[in-house]
Amino acid sequence: MKKIIPVLIAIALIVVIGAVGFGARLMEKYSYSKERADLTKYFDVRGEGDVPVILQDERIEEHARLMDGVCYFDFATVHKYFNDRFFEDKKEGLLLYVLPEAVVSSQIGTQTVSVGGEESSREYTIARYEGETLYVAVDFVKEYANFSYALYGNPDRMQVYTEWNARQTATILKDTQVRYQGGVKSDILTDVPKGTEVIILEEMENWSKVKTEDAFIGYVENKRLGEQTTVEPTPVTDYMEPVYTSQTRDHKINLAWHVVASPTGNDTLIPLLQGTKSINVVSPTWFALSDNAGNFTSFASENYVNTAHDMGLEVWALVDNFSHEGIDMYELLAGWSTRQYLINGLIDAAIQYNLDGINIDFENISLDAGEPYIEFIRELSIPCRQNGIVLSVDNYVPMGYTDHYDREEQGVVADYVIVMGYDEHYKGSEKAGSVASIDFVEKGIADTVAQVPANKVINAIPFYTRIWETKGTAVDSQAVGMEAAKQYLADHGITTTWDEKTCQNYGEYQTGDSYIQVWMEDEESIRVKLNIMNKYQIAGVAEWQLAFAVDSIWDVIAEYMNQ
C-alpha cells in the first residue's frame, strides 16, 4: 500500500497539471484579446497633415490634407467625387467655376473670390499649391456640391457622405469593442460604450461588420447589438444645381453649311439656295482662328445676313481652327485672357452682323487641350445665353480617343451638339471604304444621345462621295459632290448595286493596275440615314455642304423635316 500511494499522488499531480494546462489553453482560446490596433496603419495615415477619407462606408484611396487648420482636397479628388466643372487655369493661376450667367474666379493662393466681377472673401485660402498639386478648401468645394463631412482626430480622418440612402443601425447593449476582424483575438480598433449607435454593414453568424459615427469600420459580436432599425438620413441640399438654360428651337433644325473661302464667296448664297427645300439655318464658314492670341479672320457680311433673314433663314456663322497653320489649341485656350479675348471677339462679331448663332468647329483637339476646350465652351455659353445667340458645337462621331471633348458637358452648356456623321474613311485612311456607312452613323447618334439630350443633338450628313483608287498597297481618294459622283459613274460605265451592310449603292471597276471603288452618297443612302435620325427623335439634320447637293436630295430631306 505504501508503494501505491506515491504512484497515486504522481498520477493526481499529472491530472491536475494537465487540467490546469487545458484550462489555460481554453482561457487563451476564448478570452478577449486586449491588443489594440495601430490606428495610423489601420487608417493609412501617410504623414503630417494627411487626412484619410471614409466616403460613405469605405475608406478611399484619395486623402485630404490639413494645412493651417483648414482641410483641403486635391484637385483630382474634387473632380472625381464632387464636381468636375471646376477648372484649374494653370497659365494665369486661377481656380474657375462657370455658372449660367457668370464665372466664379479665385486667384490661387488668396482668400478672395469674384463672381461676375463682384468680390468677396473667405476666412481661409480658397486654393493653394503644394508642389505642383492644386488643393481646394473643402468648405469652398461645398459651396458647389452637396455633401457632408466631419473631421475626427487621433489619428486625423474624415467621414464624407455624398449619398443618403437608408441605413440599418443598432444600439450597443453592453460596453464592448469594435475589432479589426470578427473574432475575440482580433485587435481592438475602438471602445464603444453601451447606448452607442452603429451602422450595420454586414451580418454574419456571430459577428457583424459595423461602422461607428466617428468612422471606425470593424466587427462587433452580435450578442452586443440590439434590435436593428432602418434610418433614413436627411440629405444635404445646401447647393442647388444651376440651370443652364438653352435656346433650342421648337422645330427641327435643317442646317446647311455654306463654304465661303473669300469675300466673294458670299455672293454664291442665293444661287446655291435655288432648288433647296426645308432649310431653316445656313452656316457660312466665315471665321477662322489665325493665331494663338485669340484673333481670327472674317468674311462676315451684313448684306448676307439680311438676305438670309429675308428668306426666313437663321445664320449660325462657323468658326474653325484649321484654316490657318500653327494654331496651338492648348496655348490659345489654357489661359483666361486669351479665351476671353477670343470670346469677346466672336460675340462682338455676332452682335455687329446680327447673327443668330455661332457654330464652333474645332477639330483635332489634343488631349492636353481637352479641359481648356470645354472650359472655353462653358465660358462662351454665358454671353451667348445673355445675347440670344445660339451656340452649336461640332463633334466627331464618338470614339474613345475623343472622350476629352466631353460631349456630356457640351450638352449641358451649349444649345446644340452636332455629330459630324461622316469621314468614317477619309483621305489618308489605310484602306478604301464608305464615308458614312449606316452602322457608323447610327453609332454616332446613339452614343451621343446617351450623353446629350436628344432635343439638342443634330446629325450632319455628307453630300459628298469619295472615289477610291488602290494601286498595290497605295490607297488614295478624292471627294466629289453628288452630281460629280453620278457623272463619274456614267463616264466610266460603272454599275452600282445596293450594299445592305453600308446601306449605300456600291460600284467598282479595274482599269490597268488601278482598282476603283465607290460607295455612293445619294438619295437612297441619305433616306436611310434620315430614318435612323427619326428613330432617335433628335433635333434635326445638318449637311456638308451646300455646293455638293443636287436638287433631288432636298425632296428626301423635306420628307424627314415634315415627319
pLDDT for the residue numbered 421:
97
Average pLDDT, rounded, for the chain = 95
What sign does the CA torsion over 429, 434, 438, 439 have? negative
In the prediction, which pLDDT does 3 show? 61
> Do β-strands 197-203 and 207-211 pair in parallel, antiparallel, or remain unpaired?
antiparallel
CA dihedral sign, ordered 86, 89, 95, 100? negative
C-beta atoms surrounding 493 within 10 Å: 8
pLDDT class of 30 with cuts at 50, 70, 90: low
What pLDDT, in 10s, does the model give residues 130-170? 999 999 999 999 999 999 999 999 999 999 999 999 999 99
Beta-bridged to residue 118, according to DSSP, are 115
Residue listed under C-alpha cell 461645398: 142
Q: Grid coordinates 437663321 are at which residue?
A: 314
- The distance from CA 479 to its chain's CA centroid, rounded to whole angstroms, is 34
Q: What residues form DSSP beta bridges with 479?
A: 466
Residue pLDDT, tens place only, 79-93: 999 999 999 999 999
Q: In this predicted model, what pLDDT tens digit does every residue of 489-526 receive, in sequence order?
A: 999 999 999 999 999 999 999 999 999 999 999 999 99
Q: Is the pLDDT of residue 552 over 70?
A: yes
Query: Where does 334-422 have alpha helices with state H?
Result: 336-352, 370-387, 407-413
With bands split at pLDDT 50, 70 and 90, how would you rate the model's confidence at 11? low
What pLDDT does 400 receive?
84
Report the alpha-carbon angle 132-134-140, nearest 5.
170
pLDDT at 20 over 90: no
Q: How confident is the model at residue 285 (pLDDT cuts 50, 70, 90)?
A: very high
The pLDDT assigned to 89 comes to 98
H-state helical runs in 31-137: 39-43, 75-77
How does residue 26 score in pLDDT terms, banded at 50, 70 and 90?
very low
Q: What are the Cα distances from residue 36, in Å, to 41, 46, 179, 392?
A: 12, 20, 9, 62
Predicted pLDDT at 401: 86
User: Against a cut of 0.85, is the pTM above it?
Assistant: yes
> Model confidence over 358-372: pLDDT tens digits?
999 999 999 999 999
Contact predicate 510/504, CB 8 Å: no
| 72 has a pLDDT exceeding 90 | yes
pLDDT at residue 9 tops 80: no
Residue 36 is predicted with a pLDDT of: 96
- Determine the longest span between alpha carbons in the chain, in angstroms: 136
Which residue ranges form the domains of the chain, and what is each CATH number?
42-151 (3.30.457.10), 164-231 (2.30.30.40), 253-463+524-561 (3.20.20.80)
Model pLDDT, residue 225: 96
Element (H, E) at 514: strand 514-519
pLDDT tens digit string along 92-137?
A: 999 999 999 999 999 999 999 999 999 999 999 999 999 999 999 9
Q: Which residues of 252-285 are buried (b: 16+ CB within 10 A; e: fewer)?
A: bbbbbbbbbeeeebbeebeebbeebebbbbbbbb
pLDDT average, residue stretch 403-425: 97
Q: How many CA atoms lie within 13 A of 447 on its CB side?
A: 19
Over the stretch 336-353, which tens digit does the pLDDT of each residue have?
A: 999 999 999 999 999 999
Say if residue 17's pLDDT is above 80.
no
The mean pLDDT of 21-47, rounded to a whole number, is: 79
pLDDT at 24: 45
